[in-house]
Amino acid sequence: MTKKKAVFLDKDGTLITDVPYNADPAFMALSSHCVAGLHHLQEKGYLLVVVSNQAGVARGYFSETALIAVEQRLKEMLAGTGIILNGFYYCPHHPDGMVKSLTINCDCRKPAPGLLFKAAEELDIDLSTSWMIGDILNDIEAGNRAGCRSILIDNGNETEWYLNEIRNPVLKARTINEAADHILKTDVK
């Protein structure tokens, strides 16, 4: 049986507009210029999977249960455009958190690739045929470390610009639509 291919998407600043530490679905809005690209990717058989650091949980800003409503709202917004979100994975940890049980160094907080590995196992994804799209280099590093190809949405959210071999994207794009065009042109068989 053939494994599936996926596009992993960072949530805040990539798929939805960035509102720091937001867990209120009322403040969520899809990023502009993403719907057409996501449609094309889904039509070509890519699963769409969110992988997101949610340090606000470890920092005590909101509970982990608040992310249930966030996931539901994201699925509703995408479904309203005809797009199915195939997976939603998040890391609630942060080494400088306030919630003792979540104040750890883990293997799921990007730039670590744990969320992608977990999704790949649960959704039967072939990481070597998959892509990671994110707005900071920690997203790119996580994708590359998982064995995916990675695209940086260069929208001004990256502030560190510490580049090395593992943090280099295949492409810098302005939008998800532009990233999707590149993916589809690259993966034509």
3-state secondary structure 35-102: HHHHHHHHHCCEEEEEEEECHHHHCCCCCCCHHHHHHHHHHHHHHCCCCCCCEEEEECCCCCCCCHHH
Annotated catalytic residue within 12, 96, 124, 126: 12
The yes-or-no answer on residue 12 being catalytic is yes
Planar angle of CA 43, 9, 178, nearest 5 degrees = 65
Alpha carbons 109 and 94: distance in angstroms, whole number? 8
156: left (phi over 0), alpha (psi -120 to 50) or beta: left
Distance CA 154, CA 14 (A): 9
Q: Is 124 a catalytic residue?
A: no
Catalytic residue, chosen from 10, 18, 181, 187, is 10
Residues in contact with 147: Cβ distance below 8 Å, sequence separation at least 6, in sequence order: 127, 128
For 98, residues 6+ apart whose C-beta sits below 8 A from its C-beta are: 58, 59, 60
| Catalytic residue ranges | 10, 12
